[in-house]
């Protein structure tokens, strides 16, 4: 993998990741662009003890451009996009409309009681374009290209983890207009948060409670072992990875993909797990595209890497980090052909999910649509 860093016309960083070492990246961005004006703020919700981003500048972001104006396609035939080069393997660049941006700052109080706390929405948001082919999807990539994307996620996680003020790095892909995607080009994003996300915080609390209850047991290890032993929800497994529908799946079709050897984040994966990942992950994505039959071949999904938050010198947090298990959660909001799972009153209002597809039935369907056999 060859890595080449450059700058776009407005000063944002762009990084090319190439499979060949002899590729040269020298194209300049000729677009007349003003500097990025991102005013990100985070505000604390005292009832739920979590942070909410407030980002008025994102209302101006690009929304469903036609294919011939796609900002993620290479720059060709006199049309200039976010990627100045005429082709690329994988490219990463800073989002022009970031949810989190800039240097960290102190938490401030907007009222005498300290109920209204706020701080700069520090961090960084990046776009990851998986391929220059506008018509493709991640599932269309070959294993070499999918491995390159894994290496890119790993490299960006390592770099962003060293950024001042960043507490957690989140690599993810949204696919499909039903999910809310505004650019149809195959791509994902990476968020470097200035806090530990609420979902991760709940997992850490559950880990700690389970360890206390079981005199040191690891909840992730025991859950994966229990799913393997039960077998009925296992979708596929290799030597280094196992994928299963969780016992209490929230979404109609939801798969959790774990490395067999528990690690806290992507940089901690060993080479054996890295080498096996592309075949396992591509097979999962291709099965998702077969769930609802040939009339709906591209299932909308979210693919989310859960990584441990950073410790950064805190002994207790460092110990908790080592207990966390890197895993990928892949799920769709489609529950049946032509029907979507909407987050309605119970889910949105009370965060109580109601799943119409039994996890065992979902796992059986995902085994049924295997590529081979």
DSSP letter for 352, please.
-
Is 70 annotated to bind ligand?
yes
The Cβ of residue 361 has, within 10 Å, a number of other Cβ atoms equal to 13
27 alpha carbon, distance to own chain's centre: 29
314 alpha carbon, distance to own chain's centre: 26
> Cα–Cα distance between 256 and 247 in angstroms, integer?
11
> Cα–Cα distance between 234 and 332 in angstroms, integer?
17
**Backbone torsion region of residue 170, taken as left when φ is above 0, otherwise alpha when ψ lies between -120 and 50, otherwise beta:** beta
Query: Mind giving me the DSSP string for 282-350?
Result: HHHHHHHTTTT-TTS-S--EEEEEE-PPP-TT-HHHHHHHHH---EEEEEESEEETTEE----IIIIIH
Length of the chain: 373
For residue 126 the two structure tokens come to: 């990046």
Is 250 annotated to bind ligand?
no
Is 134 annotated to bind ligand?
yes
Is 187 tagged catalytic? yes
User: Which residue is associated with the tokens 């008025």?
Assistant: 56
Say if residues 33 and 11 touch (Cβ distance below 8 Å): no
> Cα–Cα distance between 127 and 349 in angstroms, integer?
31
Is 125 annotated to bind ligand?
no
Residue 179: in which H helix or E strand, if any?
Answer: none
Helix axes 198-213, 219-230, angle to 10 degrees: 80
Which of 44, 101, 187, 256 is labelled catalytic? 187
For residue 23 the two structure tokens come to: 């590729």
Which parts are annotated binding residues for Zn(2+)? 70, 73, 134, 185
Active site residues: 187
């Amino acid at each position: 993998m060859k890595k080449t860093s450059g700058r776009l016309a407005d000063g944002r960083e762009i990084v090319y990741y190439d499979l060949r070492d002899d590729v040269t990246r020298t194209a300049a961005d000729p677009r007349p662009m003003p500097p990025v004006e991102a005013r990100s703020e985070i505000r604390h919700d005292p009832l739920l003890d979590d942070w909410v981003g407030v980002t008025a500048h994102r209302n101006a972001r690009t929304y469903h451009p036609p294919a011939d104006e796609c900002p993620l396609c290479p720059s060709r035939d006199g049309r200039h996009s976010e990627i100045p080069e005429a082709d690329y393997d994988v490219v990463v660049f800073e989002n022009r409309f970031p949810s989190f941006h800039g240097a960290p700052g102190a938490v401030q109080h907007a009222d005498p009681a300290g109920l209204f706390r706020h701080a700069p929405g520090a961090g960084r948001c990046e776009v990851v374009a998986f391929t220059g082919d506008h018509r493709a999807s991640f599932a269309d990539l070959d294993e070499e290209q999918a491995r390159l994307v894994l290496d890119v996620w790993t490299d960006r996680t390592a770099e962003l983890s060293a950024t001042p003020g960043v507490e957690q790095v989140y690599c993810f892909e949204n696919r499909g207009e039903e999910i809310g995607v505004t650019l149809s080009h195959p791509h994902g994003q990476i968020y470097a948060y200035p806090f530990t996300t609420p979902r991760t915080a709940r997992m850490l609390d559950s880990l700690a409670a389970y360890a206390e209850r079981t005199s040191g047991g690891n909840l992730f290890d025991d859950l994966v072992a229990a799913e393997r032993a039960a077998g009925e929800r296992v979708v596929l497994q290799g030597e280094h990875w196992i994928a299963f529908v969780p016992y209490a799946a929230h979404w109609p079709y939801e798969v959790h993909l774990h490395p067999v050897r528990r690690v806290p984040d992507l940089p901690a994966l060993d080479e054996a797990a890295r080498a096996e990942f592309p075949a396992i992950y591509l097979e999962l994505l291709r099965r998702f595209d077969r769930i609802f039959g040939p009339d709906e071949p591209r299932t909308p999904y979210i693919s989310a890497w859960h990584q441990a938050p950073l410790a950064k010198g805190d002994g207790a947090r460092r110990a908790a980090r080592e207990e966390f298990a890197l895993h990928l959660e892949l799920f769709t909001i489609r529950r049946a052909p032509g029907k979507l799972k909407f987050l309605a009153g119970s889910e949105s209002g009370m965060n109580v999910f109601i799943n119409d597809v039994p996890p065992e039935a979902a796992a059986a369907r995902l085994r049924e649509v295997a590529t081979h056999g």
